[in-house]
Amino acid sequence: MDLVEETPYRFRIDRHDPMRVPGVVFASRDLMPDLGTDKSLAQVANVAALPGIVAASYAMPDLHWGYGFPIGGVAATDVAADGVVSPGGVGFDISCGVRLLAADLDLAGLRPVLDPLMDGLDVAIPRGMGKGAVWQLTGRAQLDEVLRGGSRYAVEQGHGVERDLHRCEDYGAVSEADPGQVSGRAVERGQGQVGSLGSGNHFLEVQAVDQVYDERAATAFGLRTGQVCVMIHCGSRGMGHQICTDHVRVMETVMPRYGITVPDRQLACAPVSSPEGRGYLGAMAAAANYARANRQLLTESARRVFDRVTGCRLDLVYDISHNLAKIETHGVDGGRRELCVHRKGATRALPSGHPDLPDDLRAVGQPVLIPGSMGTPSYVLTGVPDAPAFASTCHGAGRTQSRKQATTSIRGQDLRRQLEAHNIAVRGASWRGLAEEKPEAYKDINAVVDAAEGAGLCRRVARLVPVGVVKG
């Protein structure tokens, strides 16, 4: 595949059949996938063949292979021009996202109580593959309230405060949720998991602000050098996975009815305006609300532990998803169009002045949360005006090794000892789970952030370093 280097951080895949638009990759040469082993660039080209796609098929600096869409893929389709929605453009962990909390505590005050704090979080944060959750729902009726209300419903039930909603994407809930589009199997999988971390790359990490790059934005976000923070990364658990599975199957069967062909069956899709498209979006929104409620409940668990051990409070900086399709209005070819923007392993990055931001953030832009791999820094950034890719940026470091590959070179016990030698406390659910998430299995987060900023996708505000991590 031929790549044209337009700038040091922007590469173009020229349009060829069946592509309808070009591909654009925001990355440095060092971050580009290996064409011999990674098929993600081919996926960028395949996405460019979706009906109704506009502008380009975009890929972020953390690009790697995924289901249908690459992880780190962004694509928008024109709703009025039979544009489609594709579950592969969202992924299985619908509305997986990151939430950052700031403590009224500095690292020096945390160090003497770090071990009891981590022990408390170890007990309080349910995680792993199966059931076990902070919130024991009473039945399907209450689960439907979660699916409709997300964090809003959780706060109404006493799991948080009103300010949390002002610092959460969509004020805590997507309004178009339709629990009627969620299958019984998805309900069964989600019933006992509200308020749980899951496994894989999901985590709760205690961090400290190591460096501030933009004092004005950091102050608006509530961050200062030396401050203790908590970052939570998780999603919609088994419910989101089942919803994706169910609706991919539906779309595979209806594509011929709409005259749709795609170069990869994992890109199964349907027009946004079709019954199947609307059905998926309603179910996806329900899973998104489940994910927001999930992070809200984990927030409350962390708050209780912090209050008991340190006597300090945790305030929400922001909560943002990175696996979602949203109906948004953007400028295309000189006009405003209603688009279905797919962000898979990519996060929204709204600039200053955007009307969807709360009043106290509008002057500086949206907090963008980009976690590193275990044991490496994470970054807080902000959106910038006139950014490409529909105000989107990367969501993390991006894997370079499979989980199986990662476990062949290190044992979880050895990795824990390495991290603790660097003063990072570790509480893992399994040794294998730790080994799967070794830092070397991911791209260099510093290089990824350099590329995202260099490509004009976002601007860095602060760097956070790990102090303790709770892993599934």
DSSP sequence for 40-51: HHHHHHHHTTST
Helix, strand, coil percent content, the chain, rounded in steps of 5: 40, 25, 35
How long a stretch of residues is the chain? 472
CATH label, 4-400+442-471, candidates 3.90.1860.10, 3.30.2180.10, 3.40.50.1100, 3.40.30.10: 3.90.1860.10
CA 414, 96, 23, 445: dihedral to nearest 10 degrees?
-30
- pLDDT of 1 reads 72
Q: Say what percent of the chain tops pLDDT 90.
A: 84
Distance of alpha carbon 367 from alpha carbon 381, whole angstroms: 6
CB-based burial label for 195 (10 Å; 0-12, 13-18, 19+): buried
Average pLDDT, the chain: 95
List of E strands, 26-150: 57-64, 71-78, 84-85, 97-106
**pLDDT tens digit sequence for 202-217:** 999 999 999 999 999 9
The domain ranges of the chain are: 4-400+442-471
φ/ψ of residue 395, rounded to 5: -120, -5
**pLDDT tens digit sequence for 152-204:** 999 999 999 999 999 999 999 999 999 999 999 999 999 999 999 998 889 99
In the predicted model, is pLDDT for residue 130 greater than 70? no
As beta bridge partners, residue 188 has none
**pLDDT tens digit sequence for 355-372:** 999 999 999 999 999 999
The sign of the torsion formed by the CA atoms of 205, 379, 196, 169 equals: positive
Please identify every residue annotated as catalytic.
395
